[in-house]
Amino acid sequence: MRILAAFASVLLVVGETTSPSALQAQETSGKRADTPAKAKPDQFALLRPFEGHWRGEGNGQPGQSTVERSYEFVLRGKYLNVRNSSVYAPQAKNPKGEKHEDWGMFSYDANRKKLVLRQFHVEGFVNQYVLDRSSDDDKELIFVSETIENIPAGYRARETYRFTDPNTFEETFELAPPGKDFEVYVKTKFTKAK
């Protein structure tokens, strides 16, 4: 008898949510009880292909380099952390050689609806970039500096990332002295590490 009473209670509740008046209310509100909430757009969709560990070879004004880089989402996925190490062996363009390191953090500025990149370089430079534009196919991202700390006033920088396939991308880092056009400082081709 208890089972029959419990079953009748369930039928009563189901009947209330599927009755013609309940269905009409759902239709006029545009929502049904079983309709899932609309998902928010992925603010980091353009950056997701970077996630993981990469190796690269660079060439530019300071010479040739070998590069190790990792991209990892941190702090509950709110930021994409970047760690970079570039080693320049002694060579004609750079007789003493050098090891360059920088850390970066990509974030999403909800007020501007823009991706922002902040880089912290071992030499003391701090660069803040904003996504200027991306290609129609989202395989090329161009970030332009908003501020650069610890460099003469008026310098600008630009980072361009171009994916040639899911496991390969090329980065072009350019600098522009005050009042001049951008010049390539270094180009690096990266391959995803296995």
> What residue ranges define each of the domains in the chain, with the CATH number in brackets?
1-35 (no CATH), 48-192 (2.40.128.20)
**138: pLDDT strictly greater than 60:** yes
pLDDT at residue 1 in the model: 47
pLDDT at residue 25 in the model: 47
pLDDT at residue 36 in the model: 64
How far is it, in rounded angstroms, from Cα 51 to Cα 34?
A: 35
Lowest mean pLDDT among 19-28, 77-86, 127-136, 156-165: 19-28
What is the distance of C-alpha 19 from the center of its chain?
48
Residue 93 confidence class, pLDDT cut points 50, 70, 90: confident
Tokens found for residue 56: 């690269």
Tens-place pLDDT, residues 110-121? 999 999 999 999
Tens-place pLDDT, residues 1-49? 454 444 444 444 444 444 444 445 444 445 555 656 677 889 999 999 9
- Cβ neighbours around 32 below 10 Å, total: 11
Identity of the residue numbered 74: V
Asked if residue 180 lies in contact with residue 154, where contact means CB atoms within 8 angstroms, the answer is no
Residue 94 confidence class, pLDDT cut points 50, 70, 90: confident
User: 41 or 66: whose pLDDT is higher?
Assistant: 66
